[in-house]
Structure 1
Amino acid sequence: MQFRITNNMESTPMPFYMGWHPYFHCVPNKAYVVLDPCTSWNHVELDANMDPTGETTRYHGLNGSDPIGGTLLNPTFYDDEFKPITPRKPRCDYIQTRLYDEPTQQTVVLWQDSSFRFVYVFTGRQGAIAVEPMSGMADAYNNHDHLSVLSGGETWSGSVGVYVE
C-alpha cells in the first residue's frame, strides 16, 4: 500500500505526519510481537499525559521472548512507541515487525519503508493488537520529531504492507 501526499497546492508550507493503525486478531497472552532485528530500538518516553517527552531510551524487549499481555502475575500491556536506530546490517531498506499468534501458529508481518520511522504498539482491544507504522513521532506537530513540511509543489510518499508468513 502506498500513501502519497501530492503537490501541496498552496504557496505556504504544509506540516504533516501520518500513521496507519491496523489491528490484528490474536489470542491474548499467546501472541508475540517482534521488532525488526535489522536495527536497534529506542523506546519513546511519555509524560503523565501520555505525550512523548522527546526523550528515548534503549529498548531490548518485544523480541519474541514474552507474550503480549504477559501472565496473571506479571501483566504486560502496551501503548508505546519505538524508534529504530543504527541499522545492524548494511542495508535495512524496510522495517519488518512480526506478530506471531501461538494458537494458530501464524505470523503476520507488517513492513514499512524508510518514510515511516516509528512503530507504535497498542494492546487496548481484547483479542487484537495494533502495530502501527508512523512517519513521525506521536505528537510530531508539537515535538517536530520527523515532522514533514512540504513546500508548494512538493510531494511525499511512503509505503507499508502486510503479509502472512
Structure 2
Amino acid sequence: MHDPVPATGRQFEIVSGAARAVVTEVGAALRVFEVDGVPHVESYPADRLPPGGAGAVLVPWPNRVADGRWNLEGEPQQLALTEPARHNAIHGLLRHTAWTVVEHADSTVVLHAMVPAQPGWPVPLLTSVGYAVDDTGLTVTHTVENLGARATPFGLGVHPYPRAGGAATDDCTLRLAASSILPVDADRLLPSRPPRSLAGDEVELRTGRRLAGLLLDTAFGGAAPAPDDPAQLVRHTLTDPSGHGVELWADPVFGWVQVYTAEDFPGRGRAVAIEPMTCPPDALNSGTDLITLAPGETWIARWGLRPF
C-alpha cells in the first residue's frame, strides 16, 4: 500500500528565519505564507483543490477568454471552456498540471512546467516559477520561454489571497496602485466597454478603502509605481485597523490587477484576492498589453509579498 497523494500533490516547504512558505506540486500554487506564525495569505488543506484559484499561476493567459476563441495570425483557435457556466476559457492551462521541481533549497524552490502545443494553443512554451523567502518577505520569479518556431502572444497572472494576519477581511483597508477600471457585463464578466478612469467612490481605492460592504470581481488598469518609488515597483496593500498588514509588490509589467472579494473562502468566510496581471480579461482577443515572444525568446518578471 502506498501513502495517498493529496489533491495538490507533494508539498514543498521553504523557510528563512521566521518566514515560511509552502508551494504545491499541482499548479505550483502558493498554499502558505507566514511570518512568526502569522498568516499573510489565505490557506487551505493540502488534500483539497485550491478554493477560488487560491495561489494559482495563470499562464499563458490570466482571467477569461470569451467563448475560448482567439486568433493567432489569422488562424482561429478554440480553447477548452473551463468556465462552462459562462462559456469562457479561464486562467490559463497549468492550474491542474503537476509541475517539476528543478531546485529546492532551504529558502527557495523552483518549478518548471511545459505548455505543449495543443488544441487552442499551437505554440509550445516552457514556464518556471521560483519562490524565495527571506527576512523581507516572499519573492516570486516567473519565466516564460517560447520553444516553438513562431512568435506567440501570452499573458501571465497570479491569484493570491493576501491576508493581514488575524484581522477580519471586512475590517481591513485595501489600497490599489491603479488608475482605471475595466467595465464588464454582469453575466459573463467579459469587457463591455473600454477602460475608464476611477470615479466617485472608486477613487478611494487609490488612497485606501475599507472592505466592509465592498463586492468586487473587477479588473483595474493603470497599475504603476509611484513617481517617487526608488525601486519603481507597483505596490498594493491590505492593512488591518492597527496599521499592520501586507504589501503585494510587482514589476511594472503587471499593469493590471483583478480584485475579487470571496464570500465563502473555506474556514475564513470573507476573503480578498489581489491578482497582479500583465494584461486584462479577454486580452487574447483585444490584444491589450499582450506580451509577444519570438522563437527562443525568454521573458522574466517578479512580484512578492512584504509584511509590515
| TM bracket, shorter-chain basis | 0.7 to 0.9
Displacement over 3 Å in runs of 4+: 63-66, 85-88
Task: Note if contact 1:115-1:157 (Cα within 8 Å) is conserved in structure 2.
Answer: no
User: Aligned pair in 2 of structure 1 residues 101, 127: CA closer, same or farther (>3 Å)?
Assistant: farther
Deviation at 1:27, TM superposition (A): 1.0
1:94 and 1:56 mapped to 2: Cα distance?
Answer: 22
Q: Which has the higher helix share?
A: 2
The aligned amino acid for 1:27 is: A
Query: Which of 184, 193, 198 is matched with 1:46 structurally?
Result: 184
RMSD over aligned Cα, in angstroms? 2.2
Share of identical aligned residues, percent? 26
Aligned to 2:122: none
TM-score of the superposition, structure 2-length normalised? Answer: 0.46
Gaps of 5+ in 2: 1-139
Task: Note if contact 1:43-1:56 (Cα within 8 Å) is conserved in structure 2.
Answer: yes
What secondary structure is seen at the aligned counterpart in 2 of 1:129? strand
What secondary structure is seen at the aligned counterpart in 1 of 2:210? coil
Query: Which of 113, 129, 135 is matched with 2:272 structurally?
Result: 129
2:184 and 2:280 mapped to 1: Cα distance?
Answer: 11
1:21 paired to 2:159: yes
User: Aligned pair in 2 of structure 1 residues 162, 153: CA closer, same or farther (>3 Å)?
Assistant: same
What secondary structure is seen at the aligned counterpart in 2 of 1:136? coil
Count the aligned residue pairs: 155
Deviation at 1:47, TM superposition (A): 2.0
Aligned to 1:33: 174
Gaps of 5+ in 1: 71-75
Q: Which has the larger radius of gyration?
A: 2
Query: Which of 87, 104, 108 is matched with 2:246 structurally?
Result: 108
Query: Which of 175, 194, 203 is matched with 1:55 structurally?
Result: 194
TM-score of the superposition, structure 1-length normalised? Answer: 0.83
1:163 and 1:65 mapped to 2: Cα distance?
Answer: 17
Higher relative contact order (CA 8 A, sep 6+): 1
Task: Note if contact 1:115-1:159 (Cα within 8 Å) is conserved in structure 2.
Answer: no
